[in-house]
Structure 1
């Protein structure tokens, strides 16, 4: 579901908005230009557009929906993954991609989304990575093994999710303090 929000919102706020809108009757003519661009089956609600998609093409379709929502400055909530895509704040690397082991790929992810995705690591989602193609990447797998590559690939074990989130935030914002905090090996 996509809609306009004046400031970034939390996953809890996005979920509550989604559920409240789903309890109302479809209708309205808000966001018609956006609705025309969106793939999948589109249902208009006042101020909101719901996109229903086939599970077989969900990853590709949701990436398209997010890209279109971002181009229009709209929030995008993914109820399947329970993740909110805000327009900002972004990291410093234009074109950075967020990849997950369950098939999510997001170009220029907002920092809140990166934070939230890291909590979804599981056997069904065995990794999360921020990738700057041709330059460097940071990846984590369950058990909190970080892998960083800029030339050579190095690995470090991180004790808790909060430290993983801190490292990913630093990486996305161009800081490299995480490289000095851990003992890295090949």
Structure 2
């Protein structure tokens, strides 16, 4: 679902908005102009656009929906993954990509999305990576094994999700404090 929000919102706020809108009747009210550009089956609600897609094409289509929403400065909520895509705040690396083991790819993800996606690590989502192609990346797998590559691949294990989220936030915002906080081992590539 896509709609306008004046400031970034939490996943809980996005979910509540989505559920409230779904309890209303489609149609009526102002229709966001973004509706014409969205792929898939579009249902209009006052101030909101619901995009229905088939599970086989969900990853590709949701990336398109998010890109269109971002271009229009709108929030996008993915009820299948229970994730909200805000327009900001972004990391410092233009073109940075967020990749997940369950098939999601987001260009220039907002920091809140990165934080929330990390909590979805599971056998169904076996990794999360922030990638700056040709430069460096940080990724994590269940068990909180972090891998960082900038020339040499190094690896460490951290004890809890909060530390993973902190390391990813630092990486996305240009910090490298996470490299000093942990004991890393070189890995032969």
The two structures share one fold, judged by TM-score above 0.5: yes
TM-score category of the 2 structures, normalised to the smaller one:
over 0.9
Normalising to structure 1: TM-score of the pair? 0.99
Secondary structure of 2:185 counterpart: coil
Secondary structure of 1:13 counterpart: helix
Normalising to structure 2: TM-score of the pair? 0.97
Cα shift at 1:69: 0.1
Deviation string for 1:160-186 (max 9, x for gaps)? 000000000000000000000000002
Cα RMSD (Å): 0.7
Cα shift at 1:34: 0.7
Equivalents in 1 of 2:109, 2:28: separation in Å?
Answer: 30
**Residues 98 and 129, structure 1, Cα contact 8 Å, conserved in 2:** yes
Structure 1, unpaired ranges of 5+: none
**Residues 28 and 47, structure 1, Cα contact 8 Å, conserved in 2:** no
Cα shift at 1:108: 0.3
Deviation string for 1:67-91 (max 9, x for gaps)? 0000000000000000000000000
Deviation string for 1:62-116 (max 9, x for gaps)? 0000000000000000000000000000000000000000001000000000000
Alignment size in residue pairs: 186
**Residues 118 and 165, structure 2, Cα contact 8 Å, conserved in 1:** yes
Cα shift at 1:31: 3.8
Equivalents in 2 of 1:26, 1:61: separation in Å?
Answer: 22
